[in-house]
Every structure is written in structure tokens, then in C-alpha cells.
Amino acid sequence: MSKRLDPRNWASWKPFGIGERKPNNYLELWKAFRSVKGNRRYAWRVLTQGTCDGCALGTRGMRDWTMDEIHLCNIRLRLLKLNTMPALDASLLADVAPLTGMRSAALRDLGRLPYPMLRRRGEPGFTRVSWVDALELAASQVRGHRLGVYLTSRGMPNENYFAAQKAVRALGTNSIDNAARICHSPSTVALKQTIGAAATTCSYTDWIGSDLIVFIGSNPSNNQPVAMKYLYHAKKAGTRVAMVNAYREPGMERYWVPSNAESALFGTKITDHFFGVNVGGDIGFLNGVLKHLIENDWLDKAFIDEHTAGFEEARAAVAAQSWEELEALSGATREQMHELASLLGQAKSAVLVWSMGITQHTYGEDNVRSIVNLALARGFVGRDNCGLMPIRGHSGVQGGAEMGAYATGLPGGLPVTPENAAMFSEKWGFEVPATPGLTATDMIDAAHARELDVLISSGGNFLEVLPDPAYCREALSRLPLRVHVDIVLSSQMLVESEGDVLLLPAQTRYEMEGGVTETSTERRVIFSPEVAGPRVGEAWPEWKIFTELAARARPELADRVRYPEGTAEIRRDIEAAVPFYAGIAGLAKFGDNVQYGGRHLCPGGRFPTSDGLGHFCAVPVPPLERPEGAFMVATRRGKQFNSMVHERRDGFNGATREAVLMSPYDADRLGLADGAEVELTGAAGRFTGRVLRAPLTPGNLQIHWPEGNVLLDAHRRSPDARIPDYNATVTLRPLTP
């Protein structure tokens, strides 16, 4: 990597971008320092000795495997307080009425959950109970009853996921799901179908030196900010960056990498080519790009002939789609589609990166299939500086499904079938159910219909992550027993119920004896050791909570679900159950890691499919669903991690949490100035906010998530992955003259 200064990529000649609108990364360091007052030595050890529990880039300490530079981001700094704070004053929970109106950030700031607590039906709050009593209560309710278990991805290690799914299956159900369901489940479905592997095919090193990186519905500057250093080095190596999105994200235009002297001083211009599309218009645009590739003969014919199947069907599908319908759906012109096709056609290497803007749609699976078609058409799989990358926003999400914590998948990502269930039944010594369980959204539906007896939520907050919070609140209130496993309070814990509510305190990954592992976006399984420091009350590791629950509910299986030797024993069990995780059992100290599959999956065009080929798909164009005068609205992330909002104002664009981002064209057309109050009305509800002009494709709006979830229809989901649609069609009404 070149160390010479390169003014061609500078974003500004102003030192440190003084006067420019951008996050103040050095102020973030100061805020983090202040937030861990009293635990600063422990916080420093977490930063330098632990594996990052933020996004799925997976740094060890403040270093990674892509470059020899300090690697630290604002997300991890903001998580320091959560990981080091002391216990809350449990007397505050004796009557939760004063807490119910508090924001989630304020609830978190009260401190860690110190010990098990129980709120009986009709009681105003929680009282302390022993672990024995808490587990006996839960065991008596799950035994023979209808159970659903949801695991969030917040810092959760592979060991927790694996032990929990095994315990839940010992209880007789496959109804265990995790946060991958509501972020990348369409990627899992489509990638397994097309290339045979539900993971990124390349490594982060492939960004640097690639001819082209295309981001589609993805915004690393907000969601994986440490990745921006890779883009800085990629730009210095001559890589071109293209972006396909409804919003021209400011952080993807220019970014100041704080730990690199050149970028910190002068910033870095990131995006070279921007293609604005409608919310939900990705298939129209990407199919148009494929149509141009075919018509201009910009294809890798040798790769297609030797390593793929289904090309003629895909060719026929796009040939039958008119430019007029592709333009109408996408919101882009035929010429813009040609421009991206030309970039891909001229590139000898390219990496295609996508995230929630692609997956969180009713046709998320087809969105991903249309991306795969482009990569197969150009042979951008299985070789250096090429790949398909569903970039992950959380450190636990890649491993969650691979560990089998999935209603529709067993360990190793194997589908739930009688044959696979029989294999694991023989391996584990108890009967594994042979039919898929309830997904996360199905669990809420079942609870709402009073068809679920017990819901265990380990982390997460259904009130903030799923569409239609009122519907979710009603569902949570109707359960005979709710069990919340977490490190801090959340608003869903305070929902009054027709049954009992049990709170169980969990440990962070840094507190778990024996250490744990995470799996990064690039398939790197990384060891995270226990970090010496203060411990909170009676908190347990989640793997132990689930295995003890199963052992008490089914004592005849206790020896088959418990792990008396701790996390090292779990890793041995993982290696026995998931062959491609070979090597995880040997990870034991800081920095230990193994990248399953190596730098590339599908090397040399050899795909892990039944026929060894990559499969094109004939992707249909979804119908236009926007009535005349209506807008498509998408939910976006601001200064936050998951649903944890850190600041009311986004440092990139100045948007507050009530902002309604709107194109200047639409604002002028409707006579709306910045700050004008408006009401958005959709099929599920209403949202009141204030206009903020932003570089959006006309006809589209963006509002923040989770605040905007009130507009989302809880029943709109994709057909295969069952992911909720985090977009809506709305009408807009000005509330101020």
C-alpha cells in the first residue's frame, strides 16, 4: 500500500475538515473517556485485549488482519460504557410506572441488570429471586408448552448461539431465531440457492486493488465505519467506487479516517459514480445493467459456459423486460444503467457489496439474486479482488445462523429436513424436530394470536426492531410467560403482561470464563478472551442460562446439554457439528483466528452447489405499487448501533430523529421549507416529522429507524426468508403553512 500523499483523493484542503459537516471522531474519543469514569483501566483492556463486539469487521484489540494500522471506530467507543458500567439500583424496578416513559438510552444508562428478577401478573414491578427459583419457574413453563426463543446479535458469541440452539432443540422445538432474520436472511436464501454458500465469497483485502467496488443499498460510513479505512487504501490503489442507493449518503461522498494522518487531515473522496434509484427499485436498475451487459457483449463467456447454469433463462427474462418498465420501477434512466454496465464491463475485477437497503424488502431474495447475476455474468467470484459481499453490521450475526440458531436451519446452515434432523439426533442423543420452527416475526404473530405460551428474548427489543410497535406490544402483553435475558433494561421488559415476566442478567463477551469466538463478515472465526475487570452481581453467560434451563426442564437429557468444561467444550462440539468450522476448537488465546474457506469461496469458479455450478436466476420485475402523489419511504440509521440511539443528531447530514429527508425537487414542488412539519400516513399508521432537504431520488423519503416503524405493515414480509419490509408507501400532508 502506497504511503505517498495523493491530493487527487483529498476531500478538502482545510486541515481536519474544519467547518465541514462531519462527525468529530476525536470528540468521540473524549466522550468515550468521560463515559467510563471509574472503570477506565478496564475499558482500556477491553479495547486492547478484546475482539470488537461492534460491526462484523472483527478487530482484535485495535488491530485487524487487513492492514498494519490502528483500527478503531466510534461504534466500539460508544459500546464501552455498556460493557463497563456498574449494576443498576434494583429498587428502581419495584414499581416500573416511572420508567415506562423513559427513552431506551435512559433505561440503559441506569446500569447493568445484577440478578434475576420476577414480576408476577398484576404486580407493579419486579422483585429479586434466586437463580434456582428463576430457572425452576421457566423450566416448569417450557416443559410441554409452546416455546419461542429469539437471540439478538449484540455482541453475542458463537458459543452462546450454539449452546442455546442445542438446548432449545432438546426442549422439542426448532422455534429459535436470531437477528439475522431481520437483516440478511434474504442473502442467506439467495446465496445458498445461487452459489451454494451463505457468506461473503471474498476478504477485505480484496477491496484494496480491485478495479471497482459497487455498494448497493449499503452505507458503511454509518454502519461499519472502520471499513472506511479499507476504502481509503483502495482509493490510493486506484480502485473506483460506485454507489447504487436512493440517498447520496454524505459519509460515502467524503470521509475523514481519524487514525490515518493523510485522511484525518484532508479527508478522502470515496464515491466516484453515484446512481440514484427509487426505494424498492433495485431490481429494475440491476436487471437493466444486466440487459446492457448482454446487449453489449460485456460478458465473461468462458466463465459462464464453464462454471454457471441458467444463463439463457436469465437472458430471456431481461430481454422481455422493456426499458420503459425498468426505468419506471428504478427511477433511473437507461443511460445510467448503461454507465454502471460499462464500468463493470471494463473492470477486470470488482467486489459487489450490499446490506439492508437490498434485503429488507418483500422481494429481498430477488434483490440479491439480481446482484449475483451481475457477478456471474462477469466472472467476479472466486479470484483475487473479486467477490460478493453481504456486509454484516453486527459482530454476532454471521455466526448466528451458522451455529444453527435459526428456525429454518440447523448447525452449518443445513436446512431443517427429516434427514438432517435424524443426523443431529444421532449425534446429540436426543430427538431433533424435523420441521422448521417459528421465525422471529412468526413468534410475534403467534403471541398476538395467543398461540405461544413462552417467549424468551435474549437481548434485542421487539418494540424497536419490528414493524408496527403497537402490534408487538399487544403480542408481548398476551404471553403467559416472558423471559428477557440481557445486560441492561429495555422498554419491552416493562410491558405489562397477562402472565409473568422474568429478567435474567447476562454477561458480556469480555466477562465469560474461557473466552469466546465471533465470526466476521469475511468468515474469520476470531477468539475473544476473558478480560480481567469488575463483574456485575450474579450475571451468567447466556450459554449456561439456556443449557441449565433445558437440563431442568428435561433432566433425563441434562448430561447431553450441559457443558461442565465451559466454552472450550462448546467449541469442540461446534467443530464436530459444523465441519467447515474446523480449527475453532484450537482457538484459545488473543489473536487466534481461522478463516473458513480461506481468502475466497468458490475458488476458480468451483461452487459448493449440487452440480458445482453457479446459478443465474430469471428475476421478475416487481409491480409498481406507488399510487399517484404518494411517496416511498425507507427507514434509515443515524447516530446509532442496532436500535441503540447514541445521539439525536446525525453528524453526517445534521438530521435529527424526527427528520423527514426529502429531495429538494419534491420540497420545492410542495412548497415545503426545511423544518416544515409534515404528517406521513401509511397502511399501518402515522408519523409526524420535519422536512430536511437531502440528495434523494425524487418521489422517495427517508425517516429514522426505529422511530419510523409506526408506518410499517407488520404483515409485509418476503416469501422465503420471512424478513419484514422496512419500507412503506405513504401520503404526505403539511401540518404547518
Give the cell for residue 57.
469487521
Query: Cβ(406)–Cβ(178) under 8 Å?
Result: yes
CA of 442: how far to CAs of 62, 500, 637, in Å?
Answer: 39, 21, 25
Residue 677 lies in a domain: yes
Q: Long-range pairs for 469-473 at CB < 8 Å and ≥24 separation?
A: 469/706, 469/709, 469/710, 470/685, 470/710, 471/444, 471/714, 472/444, 472/714
> Residue 282 — very low, low, confident or very high, per pLDDT cuts 50/70/90?
very high
Strands (E) located in 379-531: 387-390, 409-410, 414-415, 454-458, 481-486, 500-505, 516-519, 524-528
- What are φ and ψ of residue 149, in 5° steps? -130, 130
Strands (E) located in 603-693: 614-615, 631-636, 640-641, 644-645, 659-662, 677-681, 686-693
In one-letter notation, the amino acid at residue 237 is A
Query: Cβ(663)–Cβ(695) under 8 Å?
Result: yes
> Residue 45 — very low, low, confident or very high, per pLDDT cuts 50/70/90?
very high
Residue 658 lies in a domain: yes
Based on the domain organization, do 488 and 370 belong to the same domain? no
List, for residues 667-705, the tens digit of each pLDDT value: 999 999 999 999 999 888 999 999 999 999 999 999 998
Give the cell for residue 421.
434432523
Residue 70 lies in a domain: no
The predicted structure's pLDDT at residue 28: 78
More confident residue, 303 or 32: 303
Based on the domain organization, do 331 and 227 belong to the same domain? yes
Share of the chain above pLDDT 90, in %: 74
Report the distance separating Cα 351 and Cα 203, nearest Å: 10
The predicted structure's pLDDT at residue 355: 93
List, for residues 211-252, the tens digit of each pLDDT value: 999 999 998 888 888 889 999 999 999 999 999 999 999 989
Helix, coil or strand: residue 444: helix
**Which residues are within 8 A (CB) of 566 and not within 5 positions of it... i.e. 6 or more apart?**
513, 514
Report the distance separating Cα 158 and Cα 163, nearest Å: 9
The predicted structure's pLDDT at residue 638: 65
Residue with cell 462448546: 570
For the ranges 20-24, 260-264, 319-323, 405-409, the lowest mean pLDDT is seen at: 20-24
Residue 74 lies in a domain: no
Q: What DSSP designation does 469 have?
A: H
Residue 98 lies in a domain: no
The predicted structure's pLDDT at residue 258: 87
What CATH number should be reported for the domain holding residue 713?
2.40.40.20
Give the cell for residue 451.
398461540
Strand-pair category, 524-528 with 516-519:
antiparallel
Based on the domain organization, do 134 and 243 belong to the same domain? no
Helix, coil or strand: residue 690: strand
Report the distance separating Cα 466 and Cα 712, nearest Å: 9
Query: Cβ(694)–Cβ(656) under 8 Å?
Result: no
Residue range 581-585: mean pLDDT, rounded = 97
List, for residues 150-192, the tens digit of each pLDDT value: 998 668 999 999 999 999 999 999 999 998 888 889 999 999 9
Based on the domain organization, do 519 and 651 belong to the same domain? no
> Residue 86 — very low, low, confident or very high, per pLDDT cuts 50/70/90?
very high
Residue 229 lies in a domain: yes
How distant is the alpha carbon of residue 530 from its chain centre? 25
Based on the domain organization, do 173 and 279 belong to the same domain? no
The predicted structure's pLDDT at residue 54: 80
The predicted structure's pLDDT at residue 509: 94
The predicted structure's pLDDT at residue 647: 67
Is residue 595 within a helix (H) or strand (E), and if so which, with residue range?
strand 593-595
Give the cell for residue 5.
500523499
Based on the domain organization, do 256 and 162 belong to the same domain? no
Query: Cβ(385)–Cβ(204) under 8 Å?
Result: no
Based on the domain organization, do 367 and 401 belong to the same domain? no
CA of 307: how far to CAs of 146, 196, 612, in Å?
Answer: 46, 13, 8
The neighbouring-strand residues paired with 485 are 458, 504
Residue 278 lies in a domain: yes
CA of 642: how far to CAs of 511, 712, 716, in Å?
Answer: 22, 18, 21
Is residue 567 within a helix (H) or strand (E), and if so which, with residue range?
helix 567-577
Q: In the predicted model, what is the mean pLDDT of the chain?
A: 93
The predicted structure's pLDDT at residue 30: 86
Helix, coil or strand: residue 240: strand
Q: Inform me whether the pLDDT recorded for 640 exceeds 60.
A: no
Give the cell for residue 375.
457477478
> Residue 641 — very low, low, confident or very high, per pLDDT cuts 50/70/90?
low
Give the cell for residue 133.
427459583
How distant is the alpha carbon of residue 456 from its chain centre? 20
List, for residues 432-482, the tens digit of each pLDDT value: 999 999 999 999 999 999 999 999 999 889 998 888 999 999 999 999 999
The neighbouring-strand residues paired with 506 are 540
Q: Inform me whether the pLDDT recorded for 44 exceeds 90.
A: yes
Based on the domain organization, do 645 and 659 belong to the same domain? yes
Residue 35 lies in a domain: no
**Which residues are within 8 A (CB) of 612 and not within 5 positions of it... i.e. 6 or more apart?**
606
> Which is nearest to 225 in space by CA: 474, 418, 25, 376?
25
DSSP string for residues in 544-562: HHHHHHHHHHSGGGHHHH-
List, for residues 325-344, the tens digit of each pLDDT value: 999 999 999 999 999 999 99
Report the distance separating Cα 105 and Cα 108, nearest Å: 5
As a residue count, the chain comes to: 737
Q: Inform me whether the pLDDT recorded for 707 exceeds 80.
A: yes
Based on the domain organization, do 279 and 206 belong to the same domain? yes
Give the cell for residue 88.
443498576
In one-letter notation, the amino acid at residue 595 is Q
> Which is nearest to 635 in space by CA: 256, 322, 357, 275?
357
Based on the domain organization, do 699 and 713 belong to the same domain? yes
What CATH number should be reported for the domain holding residue 220?
3.40.228.10
Strands across the sheet containing 350-354: 273-276, 240-245, 212-216, 350-354, 387-390
Report the distance separating Cα 574 and Cα 359, nearest Å: 28
- What are φ and ψ of residue 679, in 5° steps? -120, 130
Number of domains in the chain: 3
Based on the domain organization, do 427 and 496 belong to the same domain? yes
Alpha helices for 347-391 (secondary structure H): 356-359, 364-378
CA of 703: how far to CAs of 293, 392, 517, 552, in Å?
Answer: 35, 22, 35, 46
Structural domain containing residue 609: 201-391+605-615
Based on the domain organization, do 399 and 385 belong to the same domain? no
The predicted structure's pLDDT at residue 643: 65
> Which is nearest to 464 in space by CA: 477, 473, 475, 454?
473
